[in-house]
Chain A
Amino acid sequence: MELSLTTRTVAEHTVLEVGGEVDVYTAPRLRERLIELVDAGARDVVVDLERVDFLDSTGLGVLVGALKRLRTAHGTFGLVCAKEPLLKIFRITALDQVFPIFPTVDAATERDGSGPTS
């Protein structure tokens, strides 16, 4: 399935909904979109992975790049993911200790202090 990228605003967060396959072929498009968002002023960014069918190391590298970019810009970055196969990828790579990962967009965009951290 082709990569799909849709942006919306939820509770003052920029939510990028990603669908399809994120791999060595499509990851550059995800990287470009994330850079565009930050360059356009987005500082609280959430990437929703619920419609992602496949995610490889290249896609993970793009997500880490976005995390670092937002950290530099004093922003926040979080992921939404409740799919066990994807969560297993984050655990195996230890990236579950790097990204704030939330089960829902609502949880990721809460402003009570439990939301994404940089």
Chain B
Amino acid sequence: MATVRLSFSPAPVHVRTARLVGVAVARRAGVAEELLDEVRLAIGEACTRAVTLHRQYGLTDLVTMEMSDSDSYTVRVIDHAPIEASVGLAKLPPDELAAENLTDDALTTGVGFALLAGFVDDLQVRPVDDGPGTEVRMVWPVTRR
């Protein structure tokens, strides 16, 4: 099993790097070309979520992204924000999306989760095993060459 691990400080500029690395490893792992746009978007959303949470809570800890290509391409994005930050992840109904009382953060979080759920068939969001934090785990099929 080949694993690539990337850790980065919670700065928005690094999310682009994470997307580039995630797609490069996906291509190398054998993820179908037509899925790569969705991989790029999903990894971007998961990393954006982690970076945003770290910044909201004033955390300087690194965000970690692990990619492995055993039987499928698995990406885990791990943050260290308090677990309650993950509560309330839900897709927003259309009539609430442009509601005046919806904050920008709530909108972005809801839309981001809708994109993750929409683009990743195999998606899990769960607490990390040690300490505070959440792991977003995304799996895509690979075609062996």
Contacts and interface: CB of A to CB of B under 8 A. Distances in A.
A interface, over-half SS: helix
Bin the interface of chain B by size: 20 to 34
Interface string A67-110: 11001000000000000010001001111011000000000000
A21 interface: yes
A4 interface: no
Chain B contact residues: helix, strand, loop or mixed: helix
A21 B12 CA distance: 13
B15 interface: yes
Interface in A3-33: 21, 23-25
A97 B94 contact: yes
B44 A56 contact: yes
B45 A57 contact: yes
B5 interface: no
Interface in B102-145: 104, 107-109, 111-112, 114-115, 118-119
B108 A61 contact: yes
Interface string B75-94: 00000000000000001111
A93 B45 CA distance: 13
